[in-house]
Amino acid sequence: MKEIKMEIKHVHKMIGKRKIIDDISFKVLAGDVCGFIGPNGAGKTTLIRMLTGLVKPTEGQILINGAIGKYV
């Protein structure tokens, strides 16, 4: 079984009263390649910023190699 490299658990992001990301959960296993597609304003860039630690989720957890992500 492949090792889990990144796990996103029930992530939400609010900016003001606007919901940008609403309850996203998924896992990325060792060797996986993934991408994000969707219309303008769907939250793709916000999600990538959360995955890279530039933005903190309003709720939920982002685990990288089993550790909670750190934010700038």
The total domain count for the chain is 1
21-44: average pLDDT: 96
pLDDT at 69 (0 to 100): 79
Beta bridge partners of 18: 15
3-class SS letters over 18-39: EEEEEEEEEEEECCCCCCCCCC
Note down the domain range covering 47. Answer: 4-68
pTM of the predicted model as reported, rounded to 2 decimal places = 0.87
> Which residue from 70, 58, 43 is spatially nearest to 10, judged by alpha carbons?
58
Using CA atoms, how far apart are residues 18 and 32, in angstroms rounded to an integer?
32
- The whole-number average pLDDT for the span 4-11 is 97
Q: Is the pLDDT of residue 39 over 90?
A: yes
Whether 72 shows a pLDDT value over 90: the answer reads: no
Check which CATH number belongs to the domain holding 64 and give it. 3.40.50.300
